[in-house]
Chain A
Amino acid sequence: EAGVAQSPRYKIIEKRQSVAFWCNPISGHATLYWYQQILGQGPKLLIQFQNNGVVDDSQLPKDRFSAERLKGVDSTLKIQPAKLEDSAVYLCASSLGGGGSYEQYFGPGTRLTVT
């Protein structure tokens, strides 16, 4: 079974530029999550999708971050414009359903460096 795929794996941009990350979840997984992991910290949930609808985006900085999940499969996370503090690893995860009763499977992450 193929795992969660993410691209690119690494990205370096200058502040005020825009960037987009892509995630392809495990086939059949209805729930998709984006987490932000700043160096030395645990991941923080940014947004959760159930199929193509948003379940929770309470911690997403909506003035600069946006995310979509078209057709309930792939998802993209965009930052525009980027700030220095956005430097982090962005993790995508998927699960069969939401909540703790379903295991979340994580992708390898995209490491973003903003200079």
Chain B
Amino acid sequence: AQTVTQSQPEMSVQEAETVTLSCTYDTSESNYYLFWYKQPPSRQMILVIRQEAYKQQNATENRFSVNFQKAAKSFSLKISDSQLGDTAMYFCALAGGGADGLTFGKGTHLIIQP
């Protein structure tokens, strides 16, 4: 069975600061994908960034980047120059290389203070 663990229920930072959200996972598959999803208050879940496990290079999307440590089974999300609109629940998720659905962590509530 696959598991995803997010150990930070809530984080709060000032606007323009950099923040890192932590995630660890466990899977027996050799080919898998890791994701960070954002769920703003009362709005739809959207994909922030995706990492393919067989790629050593960390994924980057504008202000969002990941630190993927495959041996440690760690997948953290770094948000640079945080903005008020980044306030949301952030979920780390895992999918196998086959026809799998997503396994989600419990989420981290990120609050960006003005």
Contacts and interface: CB of A to CB of B under 8 A. Distances in A.
Nearest to B95: A100
B64 interface: no
Main secondary structure of the interface of B (DSSP, over half): strand
B73 to A, nearest CB: 16
A98 interface: yes
Contacts of B4: 42
Given A41-B106, A42-B105, A42-B106, A103 B99 contact: no
B18 to A, nearest CB: 24
A64 B87 CA distance: 36
Interface of A: 3, 31, 33, 35, 40-45, 48, 50, 55-56, 91, 93, 97-101, 103-104, 106-109
21 contacts: A3-B44, A41-B106, A42-B106, A43-B45, A43-B102, A43-B104, A45-B101, A50-B99, A56-B100, A98-B100, A98-B101, A99-B33, A100-B32, A100-B33, A100-B34, A100-B50, A100-B102, A101-B97, A103-B47, A104-B47, A106-B44
